[in-house]
Amino acid sequence: MLTLGCARNEVDSEELAGRLAAGGWELAAEPEESDVVVVNTCGFVESAKKDSVDTLLAASDTGAKVVAVGCMAERYGNELADSLPEADAVLGFDHYADLSDRLDDIVAGRTVASHTPSDRRKLLPISPVQRQSASEEVEVPGHAQHGWGPRVLRTRLDDAPVAALKIASGCDRRCSFCAIPSFRGSFVSRQPDEIVAEAMWLAQNGVKEVFLVSENSTSYGKDFGRDGARALELLLPRLAAVEGIERVRVSYLQPAETRPGLVKTIATTPGVADYFDLSFQHSSETVLRRMRRFGSTDSFLALTEQIRELSPEAGIRTNVIVGFPGETEDDLAELERFLTGARLDAVGVFGYSDEDGTEAETFDGKLDPDVVTERVSRISALVEELTTQRAEDRIGTMVDVLIENVDEDDDPIGRAAHQAPEVDGECVVIESEGLTVGQFVRCEVVDSEGVDLIVRPIP
């Protein structure tokens, strides 16, 4: 099982591994040892698609059968199969329930028809409150518990002390640059009891931190009816109380939907990381409207101020897109004003490029690629300066570090509450002895290197 893309895909892979184990399949440690290599592809942006194709081609070189699943397979289906004969099958989400049988067919040499793509938003009712029952009849990745009772249908693919936990799938937003809703489908929340049960299972399997993922976590509970507005606020303390789970982290928050009650819950609940992964994307009102999003520099700065009033050392990260069609120098200056005022801990900077089937693909005002590249460099340089300053501001503060591995100098490496896995920097623990992976250590920040912190355990 090879996984590309985001943490949501990682959860889907572990769900698929659980399904395959239930069907009698065994996971091999290396592709060369496999009868079948299942590649969980990413189809978000062009570079991710290329990585997925390259991985499929490399898998075919092992001599094993190769099966493509995941977002790229769902999005392009038989088109991908026609252009990539090295793949023995291209299967969509609707194949997940009987994936074990389909692999049996492939190994036996029986032909499995490739997936035919469709707009998955049309598979569930328009009204969110009608989706909970309807979703039991539609394959929704990450919702494999239907019909399995208390059993968690998931197999861990590593032994890391942190694991992603999916709370919802799909998205109802219509951002003009994003194609995800068309192949991931409409938004569907998982039931709280099911999520808590999976958190308990993860704790029993060595996990110390759970990382809540979805396409839009601030929408969690919108399909529960009148009582769903505070669903995430109520879920977080339950997860933090799970024995063995020492830290709960929320990701993928939409700024326009982030309510004061949720901010307070994340910022002040013991066991919940005071960490805000906010999808700002830009701050110019003009650009945001063309993106089919809401907000402004001032409203976004007010949100960051609200967070820091409750938790001055809270971590805040985001992604931004520059070079969007119609973006002017004034728009870029507005984004710079926001980034300078917000004092964010981490920022991903991406240059706009057309995405198949999106509204923005049809927009006028496209910028020359060289202009987009120049703007990416300009904003990236500002971001590097600002996030480095933010890390320097943490020198002298105390952080709780989860130890995750050891570097080449035998120094333990971990993450503080303001650092999410892989994207927000790390903590290098010096002058330490006897620390083990999975251990939480109270440390003082003594130095910084870019966004990374150098920390020393407190005796």
Q: How far apart are CA 179 and CA 191, in angstroms?
A: 26
Binding residue ranges for [4Fe-4S] cluster: 6, 42, 71, 171, 175, 178
Task: Give the 3-state secondary structure of 128-154.
Answer: HHHHHHHHHHCCCCCCCCCCCCCCCCC
Tell me the binding residues: 6, 42, 71, 171, 175, 178
Return d(Cα 26, Cα 21) in angstroms, integer: 6
Question: Between the CA of residue 237 and those of 190, 260, 289, 300, 410, what are the distances in Å?
Answer: 17, 16, 35, 26, 36
> How many residues does this entry show for the chain?
459
The three-state secondary structure class of 381 is: helix
Pair 263, 233: CB distance under 8 Å? no
Centre a 10 Å sphere on the Cβ of residue 447 and count the other Cβ atoms it contains.
14
Instruction: Specify whether the CB–CB gap between 246 and 209 falls below 8 A.
Output: yes
CB 272 within 8 A of CB 235: no
The kind and range of the H/E element at 39 are: strand 36-41
| DSSP 8-state assignment for residue 10 | H
Coarse DSSP helix, strand, coil percentages of the chain, rounded to the nearest 5 percent: 40, 20, 40
**Is the CB of residue 319 less than 8 Å from the CB of residue 279?**
yes
- Helix pair 99-107, 7-22: axis angle to 10 deg: 70
Token pair for residue 377?
């460099």
State how far the Cα of 196 lies from the Cα of 353, in Å rounded to an integer: 39
* DSSP notation for 171-204: -----TT--HHHHH-S-EEPPHHHHHHHHHHHHH
